[in-house]
Amino acid sequence: WADGDDGVTVVNEDFNIVITKEGCTGECRINTSTEEISVVENPVCEDVEVEIVNLLEDGDMEADGVAAWEVRNQAVVTKESRGEEGEGKVLRITKPIGSTSNSPYVEQLVLDPEKTYSITGEGRQKPGITGMFVRIAVFEGNNFIVQGLSNVEGWGDFDMEFVSDGGNSLALYCVGDPLSEEAWCEFDNLVLTEVVSSE
């Protein structure tokens, strides 16, 4: 700035602007005479580590006990060793001999209405029993969204995206008809995340 007839004279000078957003940094030069903008340095982006927040308590099944899960429909719920399939624990839902329910389950009330979620994980059933379903279910009033693994004796994968329109329950089911013998289903490495639009 300098003195002029009107008291102030603007001295045009070029200047640089450094722009940083979401881990990326770039630099532009602005010519104040021509109002042209030129790139001094193209944006350079650092790797931004995105933290995945699992909305399920004890989704990895490594906690002692089963206090994180609400037990329903005569389910017998325990933690078991994953055994030869790998280290760590799994959540087992057992349907006892003579049980009057063919769909014991556990649940957590972790969903909010009108939000989109993703659920991944693994499930398997007791070998040698047919007609069994290892299921993840999301209640929607009187209806529910289901992803199931049918007659899986080895570990199978869950991978589902869904919108919670009303209910807040995410449930793990062990479904089957045999009443004359004990049956069980196991779950491990469950991750529930909210899907957020990038727009």
Q: What is the pLDDT of residues 81-98, one digit of tens each?
A: 987 656 799 999 998 888
Q: Amino acid identity of 188?
A: D
pLDDT at 146: 84
Mean pLDDT of 129-157: 80
Q: Is residue 92 part of a domain?
A: yes
Same domain, 38 and 76: no
Does residue 75 share a domain with residue 40?
no
Confidence (pLDDT) at 8: 45
**Confidence at residue 195, expressed as pLDDT on a 0 to 100 scale:** 92
Tens of pLDDT, residues 100-111: 888 899 999 999
Note the pLDDT of residue 189.
96
6: in domain? yes
Q: What is the pLDDT of residue 54?
A: 96
In a domain, 59, yes or no: no
What amino acid occupies position 17?
A: I
Residues 34 and 79 in one domain: no
DSSP calls for the chain: -B--TTS-B-----EEEEEEETTEEEEEEEETTTTEEEEEEEEEEPPPPPPP---STTTTS-SSSSTTSEEETT-EEEEEE-GGG-SSEEEEEEE-TT-S-S--EEEEE---TTEEEEEEEEEEE-TT--S-EEEEEEEETTEEEEEEEES-SS-EEEEEEEEESS--EEEEEEE----SS-EEEEEEEEEEEE-----
Query: How high is the pLDDT of residue 13?
Result: 63
Q: Could you give the percent of the chain with pLDDT greater than 90?
A: 40
Is residue 25 in some structural domain? Answer: yes
Look at the chain and report how many structural domains it folds into.
Answer: 2
Q: Are residues 89 and 186 in the same domain?
A: yes
pLDDT reading at 75 higher than 90: yes
Judge if 109 and 28 occupy the same domain: no
pTM score: 0.73
For residue 114, the model assigns a pLDDT of: 87
pLDDT, residue 57, reads 97
Q: What is the pLDDT of residue 161?
A: 92
Whether residue 27 is predicted with pLDDT greater than 80 in this model: the reply is no
- Do residues 74 and 23 share a domain? no
pLDDT, mean of residues 29-48: 68
Q: 168: domain range?
A: 70-194
